[in-house]
Amino acid sequence: MTIKIGILGYGNLGRGVESSIRQNPDMELVGVFTRRNPEDVKLITADAKAYHIDEAIKMKDEIDVMILCGGSATDLPVQTPEYAKFFNVVDSFDTHAGIPKHFDKVDASSQNSGKISIIAVGWDPGMFSLNRVYANSILTEGKDYTFWGKGVSQGHSDAIRRVAGVKDGKQYTIPVESALESVRQGNNPEFTTREKHLRECFVVADEGADKGKIENEIKNMPNYFADYDTVVHFITEEELKRDHSGIPHGGFVIRSGRTGINKENMQIIEYSLNLDSNPEFTASVLTAYARAAYRLNKEGQKGCKTVFDIPVSYLSQESNEELRRKYL
Amino acid sequence: MTIKIGILGYGNLGRGVESSIRQNPDMELVGVFTRRNPEDVKLITADAKAYHIDEAIKMKDEIDVMILCGGSATDLPVQTPEYAKFFNVVDSFDTHAGIPKHFDKVDASSQNSGKISIIAVGWDPGMFSLNRVYANSILTEGKDYTFWGKGVSQGHSDAIRRVAGVKDGKQYTIPVESALESVRQGNNPEFTTREKHLRECFVVADEGADKGKIENEIKNMPNYFADYDTVVHFITEEELKRDHSGIPHGGFVIRSGRTGINKENMQIIEYSLNLDSNPEFTASVLTAYARAAYRLNKEGQKGCKTVFDIPVSYLSQESNEELRRKYL
């Protein structure tokens, strides 16, 4: 008895989920649902099929969990509450400020359908959030830090590409090593934006474009770059393709807190990720939580959950006895 | 309505729990239970009382959770199954190989009493175990590494003190930095014991003792030191007291795994602790899980649990709404 998975949306994240399912022998990909013409969509999984998104609801009895792989800006705010009426669903909704409202809407659908939904699954929100709550529950008096990177920021890469004279470009967010070290020493520093992260840009300029002007425009772009120390490198199209086509990311969640009758002891908890592929890692977290959604629903539970509500044992293929024996 | 806590056993760990309760405003220390003469036990908490351990069971209706702070060798194997007949209990049982049997005995008591017990709570077992299961559930194909330290090993310090001519001593376990780096690079190295950890000893010799002989005996001690690179420093009693009276510890749990259709992407998850006080950190984890034990029992649950069975939201003082809003 495998867990039958549907994937809704087939971009980087959807393909990552497909790949992750192949690493989870208790799961099976039933179908991929897309807005494109399904005939044009080539899956990697031999025995799965691509369908038009309009076919999804008809297949509600053939799919145990639908993993929603659309974007947080316009797709998920509509799709998750909608598909939660018919399926157990998992999404990676990542607009932090919008989570309470998204939760309420999705919960209403899932309570009604008697299904489970799990939202905001991934690494931030997701594993980073989880680690923040563990660390805050243990060290009740302390300070939280999050650093992102080294990794590609899609938004900042897009911003570079909108500059006149830029043909293509990629931006890396990089944590400032000395800032990280200061946090790890337990100094409880306060940082300005500039002190925490650097921005490094790799830019392909149009032929004959004024590179000085491009560099200046990038470095002074409000919101995106003006508050940071930014480094701009001009490279060729070939170099961009050869050296910067990956989607790495990661980061650090650190809590430093004090314990002891006189708060005399510093305690530091650190969680970090170093990811060659941001979407594939997010996809792997989604897949693990799809297993949890399936199990919770089998137990008769319903409604919207987050990573905070689910014991880790629900994510694992191994039995509770095995987990205790092997990992405790 | 505060959660009423009892502490059974008042060594470093018990005092750490007392201190931790003062950092958790929803909790209240009712009493400390000790084998010593309670008149000789001085508590820090003004309105709590020390009792003889024989008084504990009589107070079962005044205590919501009893935190068991005895040792794993002889105390907890007897105490946890016994007190689980009367109380919700939390312990830090840390004999990895003995956990399945301990679980079964404690579970039988708690199923019978209708109470909750949570065993093997702390950092290893505990937070390290939890992170191993999260990481294995996400990166299903990969390799696990645990490094301990820099920290004081009680067992190794005791072993030094048993060497003839040694007056006092302290041993630090130290992870080999280059080994850690190799793991972080995703090299999936295989290590010998010697390649992962160093052992550094600070020894106070008896007057006139043969230091060369002591050093040689320590370095060649089977099980404890022979398989490691060991450094021995001879210092004065004053220096030992001044520079080595803390109980720091910590370590690193790292999983490296590959994702992607052709396993082309390396993903690294790392969790680490850097602790000035090992017992106070363990105590802080115990306190957070005492909150979970209280809540689970209020919901009508019973039986033995581990960190794998409990959602993080049960550890936090904050409501689920607050957690989603602040940390997700």
Any B CB within 8 A of A276 CB: yes
The C-alpha angle with vertex B233 and arms to B231 and B234, in degrees rounded to 5, equals 150
The residue of A147, A252, A259 whose CB has the most chain B CBs within 10 angstroms, and thus the best one to mutate to test that interface, is A259
Q: Which residues of B touch A93 (CB under 8 A)?
A: none
Any A CB within 8 A of B272 CB: yes
Per-residue DSSP letters for B41-84?
Answer: ---SSTT-EEEEGGGTGGGTTT-SEEEE-S-TTTHHHHHHHHHT
* Tens-place pLDDT, residues A228-238: 999 999 999 99
Chain A, chain B: beta-carbon pairs less than 8 Å apart:
212
Q: Which residues of B touch A139 (CB under 8 A)?
A: 284
What is the spatial distance between Cα A199 and Cα A171, in angstroms, rounded to a whole number?
A: 7
Is the confidence at residue A327, as pLDDT, over 90? yes
Query: Does the CA dihedral B52-B56-B62-B68 come out positive or negative?
Result: positive
pLDDT at A181: 97
* Tens-place pLDDT, residues A94-106: 999 999 999 999 9
Is the confidence at residue A188, as pLDDT, over 90? yes
Q: What is the mean pLDDT of residues A106-111?
A: 98
Is the confidence at residue B1, as pLDDT, over 90? no
Q: Which residues of A touch B316 (CB under 8 A)?
A: 133, 136-137
Binning pLDDT at 50, 70 and 90, where does residue A1 land?
confident
In A85-104, the residues whose Cβ lies within 8 Å of chain B are 96, 99-100, 103
Tell if the CB–CB gap between A23 and B259 is shorter than 8 Å: yes
Q: What is the pTM of this model?
A: 0.97
What is the spatial distance between Cα A307 and Cα B147, in angstroms, rounded to a whole number?
A: 27
- A214: tokens are 């491009």
**Could you tell me what percent of chain B has a pLDDT over 90?**
99
pLDDT at B135: 98
Q: What is the mean pLDDT of residues A285-309?
A: 98
Q: Which residues of B touch A99 (CB under 8 A)?
A: 324-325, 328
Q: What is the mean pLDDT of residues A141-157?
A: 96
Any A CB within 8 A of B22 CB: yes
Q: What is the mean pLDDT of residues B208-219?
A: 97
- Chain B nearest-CA distance from A206, in A, is 32
For chain A, where are the E strands, in sequence order?
Answer: 3-8, 27-34, 49-52, 65-68, 88-91, 116-118, 142-148, 151-152, 166-175, 197-205, 229-234, 249-259, 265-275, 303-305
Q: What is the mean pLDDT of residues A77-101?
A: 97
**Could you tell me what percent of chain B has a pLDDT over 70?**
100
Q: What is the mean pLDDT of residues B91-112?
A: 97
Binning pLDDT at 50, 70 and 90, where does residue A283 land?
very high
- A303: tokens are 């409604």
Tell if the CB–CB gap between A138 and B284 is shorter than 8 Å: yes
B10 closest CA partner among B89, B94, B40: B40
To which residue do tokens 């001044």 refer?
B242
CB B232 within 8 A of CB B215: yes
**Could you tell me what percent of chain A has a pLDDT over 70?**
100
pLDDT at B127: 98
pLDDT at B46: 87
* Tens-place pLDDT, residues A211-268: 999 999 999 999 999 999 999 999 999 999 999 999 999 999 999 999 999 999 999 9
- A186: tokens are 């337990």
The C-alpha angle with vertex A285 and arms to A283 and A287, in degrees rounded to 5, equals 70
- A30: tokens are 């039933």
Tell if the CB–CB gap between A324 and B277 is shorter than 8 Å: no
Q: What is the mean pLDDT of residues B185-189?
A: 94
Q: What is the mean pLDDT of residues B224-238?
A: 97
Query: Does the CA dihedral A236-A241-A242-A248 come out positive or negative?
Result: positive
A50: helix, strand or coil: strand
HSE at residue A108, side-chain half, CA atoms within 13 A, is 7
pLDDT at A46: 87
Binning pLDDT at 50, 70 and 90, where does residue A124 land?
very high
Any B CB within 8 A of A42 CB: no
Phi first, then psi: what are they for A231, rounded to 5°? -110, 130
The C-alpha angle with vertex B262 and arms to B257 and B264, in degrees rounded to 5, equals 50
- A71: tokens are 């974007």
pLDDT at A33: 98
Any B CB within 8 A of A247 CB: no
Helix (H) and strand (E) counts for chain B? Answer: 11, 14
B292 closest CA partner among B155, B39, B90, B74: B90
* Tens-place pLDDT, residues B278-314: 999 999 999 999 999 999 999 999 999 999 999 999 9
Q: Which residues share a beta bridge with B200?
A: B172, B231
Query: Does the CA dihedral A9-A12-A17-A22 come out positive or negative?
Result: positive
Tell if the CB–CB gap between B288 and A137 is shorter than 8 Å: yes
